[in-house]
Amino acid sequence: MESGVQKMICGASEVFFPIHGDERGKLVAIEENRDLEFDIKRIYYIYDTCPDVVRGKHAHIDLHQVMLCVCGSCEVLLDNGQEREVVTLSAPNRGVYIHSPIWREMLHFSKDCVLLVMTNKFYDRLDYIFDYDEFLRMVKERVEEKG
């Protein structure tokens, strides 16, 4: 299977990566600007998450991100200010690509979940929006700018 992108709500897409498997097991390779539409500047992963925890609860001003569960599963709530969608991440070769302002919350982590995130920028606290109303204002401004 080729890597690919499938549209979800505006601003987020589902992405697929090829699995290289043989009698020894499986391998997934992700290359910037080939399997991903951006340069990878930063990788982080979330694991050992406490039960009933909701993480994220923010949006970014300008950041491209792909997240997937290399192990276990979790749910991601995606909200672009107009539409919402909850996606279950449960495959090491299928993720969510967030490429414009999206409020996101990650929840229902399985005990063994390792959520991997690849981004196009270094960590920058100034790129975060933690207030949902501020997020809605930003989305409105961008819609007005586009006319």
Closest to ligand TYD by CB, 55 vs 108, is 55
Residue number with the smallest Cβ distance to ligand TYD: 55
> CB under 6 A: which stretch of 5-13, 15-23, 55-63, 85-93 binds ligand TYD?
55-63
User: Token pair for residue 12?
Assistant: 């987020």
Cβ 40 vs Cβ 32: under 8 Å: yes
Active site annotation includes 58: yes
Closest to ligand TYD by CB, 112 vs 141, is 112
Q: Which of 20, 58, 64, 108 is catalytic?
A: 58
Distance set, CA 74 to CA 49, 121, 145 (Å): 10, 24, 35
Compute the least distance from the CB of residue 104 to ligand TYD, in Å.
9
- Kindly determine how many residues on this chain lie close enough to bind ligand TYD according to the rule CB under 6 A: 7
Distance set, CA 130 to CA 2, 62, 84, 96, 134 (Å): 36, 14, 17, 20, 8
Site for ligand TYD (CB under 6 A): which residue of 20, 21, 32, 44? 44
Is position 123 an interface residue for ligand TYD (rule: CB under 6 A)?
yes
Name every residue whose Cβ is closer than 8 Å to that of residue 82 and which is 6 or more positions away in sequence. Answer: 10, 139
Closest CA to 53 of 110, 100, 134: 110
Amino acid at 131: D
Is position 130 an interface residue for ligand TYD (rule: CB under 6 A)?
no
Residues designated catalytic: 58
**Chain residues in the site for ligand TYD (CB under 6 A):** 42, 44, 46, 55-56, 58, 123
